[in-house]
Structure 1
Amino acid sequence: MHLNNQKRMTLPFTLFPHHIFLLILLLHPPPCPATGGGSWSLLLPSIGISAMHMQLLPTDRVVIYDRTDFGTSNISLPNGKCRPNSTDCSSHSVEYNIACNSIRPLMVLTNVWCSSGTLMPDGSLVQTGGWNDGDHVVRVYKSCDECDWWEVPSGLSQQRWYATNHILPDGRQIIVGGRQSFNYEFYPKMSTTETDFSLMFLVQTNEPDVENNLYPFVFLNTDGNLFIYANYRGILFDYVRSKVVRTFPAILGGDPRNYPSTGSAVLLPLRIVQGSVVNVEVLVCGGAPRGAYKNANDGKFDGALDSCGRLKISDPDPQWVTETMPLARVMGDMLLLPNGDVLIINGASAGVAGWELGRDPVLSPVIYGPDKPTNCRFEVQNPSTIARMYHSTAILLRDGRVLVGGSNPHDKYKFSDVLYPTELSLEAFLPAYLNPILSGLRPIIISPMTKTMVHHGERFIIRFQVSCLVDPNLVKITMVAPSFNTHSFSMNQRLLILDGVNTTMAVGNSHYEVSVVAPPSGNIAPAGNYILFVVHQEIPSEGIWVSIR
């Protein structure tokens, strides 16, 4: 039944007394909200390894790994196993079970240091490259109670170290760049003769002795082309014809934003209206000033950048708009939260990425509201007590928390006599929307209850419960693609605001349903696994897994 033909019901005002003032505040907020939101929770004091790379899987487990040449880790391989041709019998990869708050050691054979990866449509993590014996290797991990990594020794045409991956509309992934790899390739290959393709943009943005174009920021644009940003500028790239479609202006100031002058970037939420996305914007924040890498190696630690650049790549004549963060930051992670806000977390306020090259940890996250007034977009959050420096990570979980781990600015595990010891702990940042006082405003999805599959352009119904009165205009349905996070960049990160939320209607006491339309094409949402949230007054429900086919 089409919801548009149903009669909308009006429910009595059922807020609990302690929610009344809060609702008034949310409906009529002050010009700039107060700072100091969010809270922290230590999950595990040690997972045995430093979380250098993380990926959430559709099983609600997280695969985590560091590198195989760090030395002996603090967790052993199971059943007395050792890596082949090695005396190292410790694990360098683990699977974290969110529900049980437990870890299971995994065996990765070749060196995954500074590698990359993509969650594939079948729910497996396909991870590519690394260092030394691992630079041409493709590894696959699909979660189950007894599963482990399996490896394809020569799965790549070129070495991929500090490369970036992105899922494509056809279900393959593209692997872009890497140290001294000014090209791109695909996985899986279409044929045994398929190889790599040159990308001159990576040559043009490479700086001798610094580079500043490693782990380039790559986003799939809604026209099917790729936005690729390296160093201080970006292009729109047709990867099928290997052609630059558009060159964008340099970011204001011209300072580098990619590794090792490590900033971060996100594709801002894509709002789908009548089957299309009107505005496509990229936000790039933080990094280090030009020359900071050389200075850090000479013992001088320049202050990090406090600027963000926002570029509407869908405009006919796009220009960068600069905004100033309340806290300067290098090596910060940028994550899309379920309500469309951007979380900026981890990192340092001086130096650059690399061994011993960062100083002065930034302990307080910042939340950026893309749709708020220009001078009120940043909110400083409550600080952690743990420094998260080089090789730290962060990912969004289905329950709305942010999993935070890692930090090892040393070439081995070092726990004493250093400024910033190797960090093996795992903690969670809880954004303010998880404050228990907001429970009456938080939706609970009641249907579908389990993972569901939808097709591009298909209309489907979400039923949810909220204990207070719901204004349909304050409801939105978002879908977030879980990202692969390493080195301050979340690959494949994407948030979609679905079409059809004005159909929200009451269907019983505190029960509602909304009819929404799945993203119309693979250019807007590549086939695969997403987390769907009902967001009410900017407060998200716990998400459910949705597979788009």
Structure 2
Amino acid sequence: MSTITIMILIPFILASLFPYFEAQTLSSTFANQGQWNLVQPSVGISAMHMQLLHNDKIIMFDRTDFGHSYLPLSNGRCRMDPNDIALKVDCSAHSVLYDVPTNTLRPLMIQTDTWCSSGSVLPNGTLIQTGGYNDGERSIRMFTPCFDETCDWVEFPGLLSQRRWYATNQILPDARVIVVGGRRQFNYEFLPKTPSPNSSPSSIPLNFLQQTSDRSENNLYPFVHLLPDGNLFIFANTKSVLFDYKQNSVIKEFPPIPGGDPRNYPSSGSSVLLPLDENLASLEAEVVVCGGAPRGSFESAARGNFVQALGTCGRIKVTDPNPNWVMENMPMPRAMGDMLLLPNGDVVITNGVGAGTAGWEHGHDPVLTPVLFRPSETVNRFSVMAPASRPRLYHSSAVLLRDGRVLVGGSNPHVFYNFTGVEYPTDLSLEAFSPPYLALDFDPVRPTIRYITNNNVLGYRVFCYVTFTVPNFASASEVSVKIVAPSFTTHSFGQNQRMVVLKLSGVTYLAGEAYYATVVGPSTAEIAPPGYYLLFVVHKGVPSSGSWVQVM
């Protein structure tokens, strides 16, 4: 072939190879920075609160005193509420049941106002949802998942002992729920109520909440984590305690987080309890708190001065005899970020702003890029991910899905559904962030769960066998089995979120690409309260899709 012929053919050869090079580049980018996809352009409401249920449906809701939503109630239903401050007769939905596998949704009927409420999932899978505003402040609502179109909210107005607005819920080892705090509520109570001559009063004072309250009320939505010893870690404003709820006693006061700046609403940092690893000789519990806003930011934002958010994370190993905070810097400052545990043990921080605080019009400079935090690494623990296309500010939310994606929704920086003439319109869409481990590059080492013994029930200290396939198996040392309790996410905190790394007795080869892992159910209900969890097999840092299991 002559040189002239080769020169003529080069452009055609390059053109034919361009799609290959482009695909390789896209794949490489995905494998390093993840990928965003628009899932639903509109679900009709703004997803202020979200909870994944064990039938792969997500219940989401905003507030009822918000005016007409963009989703009508079905079957000609209307909400009649003489106490509503927006509409006395409202034929639009303020709650939605979103089906993840089919990407479809169904409007739900909710009567009392759910604005800034809280929730937990009971061991039977029922969401118990508490408090709110106006006629919802003392309400209890329940939603039991079903596999048809019949289930809806059931409400019990006035059953809470106190107004619970901006409170936090935590499921307990005995299957009760503790409801902590709320605006001007320096107390807690338990659900379900069990009245008896020897029972505790309906609400119990918690002086720690009063001590940490300030004019801006930077101790709302306190960060509450159930620890392996059965006590609670409670963080409010800048301080935290080890709390024995059975004896109504503060066991230990931890050092204040360095810097003196508040981390709870409206400063709105976020927090997670890092995975509890049952393979360790001594179980460790470590809490991370990231982001927030400097003291005084709320008042400054009200005057039009948007102060840069906090750019630090603090870690404290609460099981140490003398625990102290270890501080490190995030790649960028962030308030109103959502922290979620990923199946491989990493933490994703998404949504939020770089300046200002939570509150109407109080956030500026949206942070579009999630970051991954790898707590097990000794250096370079943070990685910046691909940017989203939509700002997610006040009242945005995020949950982990069974397939390993992170679903985000919401953003109401304006009163009512305001889409015009504003800098950051209300957002009714849903987007999904696919972390790098979902890239096709990792398919050769990605496990697929085939079978879980005992009908997907994990008994305490009971052996269980998880059969999985993987094309290119590395070694048993590269395998772990983890269970994740999905969070009730609102206002930058995933209530009840936890991950347990199950004790792994071994991995056995079966045939072809098939193996089975022998694991032991959680040691105690303090480590994993009874209920539904997502079980993941992780191989070389790449997780399978999750399978629902019930711990009992």
TM (normalized to structure 1)? 0.92
Measured at CA, do residues 338 and 392 of structure 1 come closer, stay the same or move farther in structure 2, by a change above 3 Å?
A: same
Selected match of 1:410 from 405, 410, 414:
414
CA contact (8 A) 2:31 2:437 kept: no
User: Who is 1:521 aligned against?
Assistant: 524
> Structure 1 CA distance, aligned partners of 2:344 and 2:129?
29
> Structure 2 CA distance, aligned partners of 1:469 and 1:480?
24
Q: CA deviation at 1:451?
A: 6.0
Measured at CA, do residues 84 and 450 of structure 1 come closer, stay the same or move farther in structure 2, by a change above 3 Å?
A: farther
The 3-state SS of whatever aligns with 2:431 is: strand
User: Who is 2:260 aligned against?
Assistant: 254
Mapped pair 1:167 → 2:147: no
Number of aligned positions between the proteins: 516
Selected match of 1:222 from 193, 205, 228:
228
User: Who is 1:326 aligned against?
Assistant: 331
Mapped pair 1:51 → 2:47: yes
Question: Which stretch shows the higher mean deviation, 185-194 or 325-334?
Answer: 185-194
> Structure 1 CA distance, aligned partners of 2:261 and 2:127?
33
Within-5 A mapping of 1:133-282? 133-144=135-146, 145-191=149-195, 194-208=201-215, 210-273=216-279, 277-282=282-287
User: Who is 2:545 aligned against?
Assistant: 542
Q: CA deviation at 1:233?
A: 1.2
List per-residue Cα deviations over 1:522-549 (Å, max 9, x = no partner): 1100001100000001100001001011
Structure with max Cα Rg: 2
CA contact (8 A) 2:240 2:253 kept: yes
Unaligned runs of 5+ in 2: 1-19, 82-87
Q: CA deviation at 1:270?
A: 0.6
List per-residue Cα deviations over 1:136-180 (Å, max 9, x = no partner): 000000122211101011221000000000000000100000001
> Structure 1 CA distance, aligned partners of 2:178 and 2:390?
35
User: Who is 1:80 aligned against?
Assistant: 76
Measured at CA, do residues 97 and 120 of structure 1 come closer, stay the same or move farther in structure 2, by a change above 3 Å?
A: same
Mapped pair 1:371 → 2:367: no
> Structure 2 CA distance, aligned partners of 1:370 and 1:113?
34
The 3-state SS of whatever aligns with 1:80 is: coil
User: Who is 1:459 aligned against?
Assistant: 463
CA contact (8 A) 1:451 1:545 kept: no
Q: CA deviation at 1:438?
A: 1.1
> Structure 2 CA distance, aligned partners of 1:304 and 1:125?
33
Mapped pair 1:504 → 2:507: yes
List per-residue Cα deviations over 1:497-534 (Å, max 9, x = no partner): 11115x11211111111100011111100001100000
1:50 alignment partner AA: S
User: Who is 2:446 aligned against?
Assistant: 442
CA contact (8 A) 1:449 1:544 kept: no
CA contact (8 A) 1:451 1:547 kept: no
Aligned residues: percent identity? 52
CA contact (8 A) 2:452 2:464 kept: no
> Structure 1 CA distance, aligned partners of 2:30 and 2:260?
33
User: Who is 1:69 aligned against?
Assistant: 65
The 3-state SS of whatever aligns with 1:175 is: strand
* Two-structure CA RMSD over aligned residues (Å): 1.8
Q: CA deviation at 1:34?
A: 11
Q: CA deviation at 1:36?
A: 5.1
> Structure 1 CA distance, aligned partners of 2:271 and 2:239?
12
Measured at CA, do residues 69 and 162 of structure 1 come closer, stay the same or move farther in structure 2, by a change above 3 Å?
A: same
Q: CA deviation at 1:496?
A: 0.6
Question: Which stretch shows the higher mean deviation, 439-448 or 59-68?
Answer: 439-448
> Structure 2 CA distance, aligned partners of 1:137 and 1:512?
49
> Structure 1 CA distance, aligned partners of 2:479 and 2:460?
22
Higher RCO, 1 vs 2 (CA within 8 Å, ≥6 residues apart): 1
Q: CA deviation at 1:87?
A: 1.9
2:207 alignment partner AA: M
Q: CA deviation at 1:222?
A: 0.6
Selected match of 2:319 from 314, 317, 331:
314
Q: CA deviation at 1:84?
A: 2.0
Q: CA deviation at 1:448?
A: 2.4
CA contact (8 A) 1:35 1:380 kept: no
Q: CA deviation at 1:469?
A: 2.5
TM (normalized to structure 2)? 0.91
Mapped pair 1:357 → 2:395: no
User: Who is 1:90 aligned against?
Assistant: 92
> Structure 1 CA distance, aligned partners of 2:63 and 2:453?
38
